[in-house]
Amino acid sequence: MPGAPLLTLTLEVRAQVGEPIEIGHAAGGRRRVVPIVGGSFEGRGELTIKGRIVPGGADSQWIQLDGLTVADARYILETERGQMIYVKNRGLRHASPHIMQQLLAGQPVDPSLVYFRTTPVFETGEAELNVLTRSVFVGVGERYPSEVFLRFWKVE
């Protein structure tokens, strides 16, 4: 029987976000969309790239009545060499009701009090970036008032 998989830090992303657009309440929760207006990223280990987040992405969030946020972010990374990487990043975020209330109101909270995990999928036509398209990744996020900091680990 194989052992537990190892995780290798491969990519760090700092996404600048705009004010959430509230769509409204529906059965079981509310929908909002958070614009991704820019940011930067840098590879780690075998992935030696860095660059910017192309403005125009968004994180579509379904916030359930108990505060659980189901996130579905879509955005584009552009390396310093002009290589494009499309990111689909789904995740879950939750904390105690008080902490979630502060977080959703745009107030700073201690990231260690929030469970924020994601499963990113990358698309690119660049053969030298195949590690992104041919590997499974898990992410850990931290939400700040105007920024989301994500670390992505490759599952070995």
* In a domain? residue 83: yes
- Please give the residue that has the higher pLDDT: either 1 or 23: 23
Could you tell me the pLDDT band of residue 26, with boundaries at 50, 70 and 90? confident
Q: What CATH number did the domain enclosing 110 receive?
A: 2.40.160.20
pTM here is 0.93
Percent of the chain with pLDDT over 70: 100
Classify strands 84-94 and 29-43 as parallel, antiparallel or unpaired: unpaired
| Distance, CA of 78 to chain centre | 16
pLDDT band of 28, cuts 50, 70, 90: confident
In a domain, 107, yes or no: yes
| pLDDT of residue 2 exceeding 90 | no
pLDDT tens across 41-92, in order? 999 999 999 999 999 999 999 999 888 999 999 999 999 999 999 999 999 9
Measure CA 82 to chain center: 21
Domain assignment of residue 143, yes or no? no
> Which neighbouring-strand residues pair with 72?
60, 90
DSSP state of 128: G
Cα–Cα dist 88/84, whole Å? 13
43: domain range?
17-137
Counted domains in the chain: 1
Residue 122 in domain:
yes
d(CA 129, CA 132): 6
pLDDT band at 106 (very low <50, low <70, confident <90, very high): confident
